[in-house]
Amino acid sequence: MKFALYCSYLHEKPYQYSMPPLGLGSIGAWVKNNCWFCEVAFFRQEQKLIDWKPDVVGISSATENFSAAVAFAGDIKNALGIPVWIGGTHITALPHTLPDCFDVGILGEGELTVAELIKIHYKSKNPVQRLADVAGICYHGEKGVVINPPRDLIPDIDILPFPDRKMLGEDWAVPLSEEAHIITSRGCPYDCTFCSAPVHWRKKVRFFSPEYVIREIEHIRADFNPNEIFFFDDLFIGNLPRFKKICALMKERNLHRDILFRTYARVDLIDEEVADLLADLNFHYVDFGFEANTQPILDYYNKKNATPEKNQRAIDLLAAKNISIGANVIIGAPHETREQMEQTRAFIERNKEKLHRCSMGPLQAPPGTRVWDYAKSRGLVSDDMDWTRYIVDVEHLDMSRDPYLCETMPVEEFTAFYEEFYRLATEINLRGKVHKMGVDLQRSRARERAMRAELDALKGSRLVRLAARLKRK
């Protein structure tokens, strides 16, 4: 049996294929370990997947790519006539909308569900009749879409193998030799109104043990030797005792030597001790979801314990340690005024010399979130809308097409303000690129010096001198 995995993405958006989809890598690794009869492969090119002639295809898709996923599923059906399954945040939030081109929707955590479905497909002459017994899926029944009871989340995620990065390949915008990423938890301990993580992970958070994380870091360094490792959790430092244990183990095993780390953080978790740990363990890049710098909008986003004062304190603490800081900002909340947006922009402007990255955009309404419910109540979104409207071109914003949520400003005024803010973000990002080039150059020179020292040491060793004499003879 052959099972193909594919991540729906937009070819014209390079950021979408900057790094491999570790979720599919984890599913692939689990299936390989638990379905001996199944050959698993991941594809980025649609035609190569079809040419492989799999028995089943599993596609993962976010909302902005869902229309592309539907189109490709139709192509697979026309070419091969095989079952196509869909997973990811979008179908998990809207299982009742399962399109006809998909046989099954996999809701939430996928490893156990996919393995069970593969075994059913392999053993059963009529797999469709067995779907009613599979927890955590939706499928087409006689009277419409059937949504089965949810599957229990894996209680101890340490049972999972490392994501199969070799299966995912190295044909990514950011090569694995430059930056590899790692996800050391599932879910987030917070519940922001605009975030789909609580929907996907059912408002629960689970952590890989510190020992598991250390083993995976060692695995990544041994197999790929990247310049940087990006901790891509929703919030890597969300469990501070665990974070400190991971740091202690990294230091004990010298895993922080000759490498840089990057992670996301929250302003309310940053103090002198955490800042010292981040600096000491070479977490050179730290990014914050500030979102806003006015208390009413932070409260609207349910950014618990976040305040404008803590935003500033987090920047000051990390900047003092020469840590490269990134800022993520959202504008256009329903009742956010221009004055409040100006205050957030002024906060970024004041700190632009301390920031090296700035990502900003209009508030969106991911399905299943409270912002989605609000947007739906106003008729701005719907279950059968054109999902390509979620593709936001941050360089050329078109709020006449994108769902526009802000009630306090005309679209034209908002767009003009956005463009002004975006120029500031662009300035910060350009400065950040120059900074990173300098960091990379310093590290390259340090490696060169180390290699020359090693070479000089070898030239003076007895074994090298003996080999040279033998070669002359």
Tell whether the model's pLDDT for residue 239 goes beyond 90. yes
pLDDT of residue 472: 62
Predicted confidence at residue 470, as pLDDT, reads: 66
Residue 468 is predicted with a pLDDT of 62
Q: pLDDT digit string (tens) for 19-70?
A: 899 999 999 999 999 999 999 999 999 999 999 999 999 999 999 999 999 9
Over the stretch 352-399, which tens digit does the pLDDT of each residue have?
999 999 999 999 999 999 999 999 999 999 999 999 999 888 888 888
pTM of the model: 0.92
Asked if residue 135 has pLDDT above 90, the reply is yes
- Segment 280-308 mean pLDDT: 97
**Average predicted confidence (pLDDT) for the chain:** 93
What would the mean pLDDT of 431-446 be, rounded to a whole number? 82
Banded pLDDT at 444 (limits 50, 70, 90): confident
In the predicted structure, residue 222 carries a pLDDT above the cut 90: yes
What pLDDT is stored for residue 463 in this prediction?
61
Domain residue spans in the chain?
Answer: 2-147
- For residue 469, is pLDDT > 80? no
The confidence score (pLDDT) of residue 146 equals 98
End-to-end CA gap in the chain:
59
Architecture of domain 2-147: 3-Layer(aba) Sandwich (3.40)
pLDDT at 471: 62
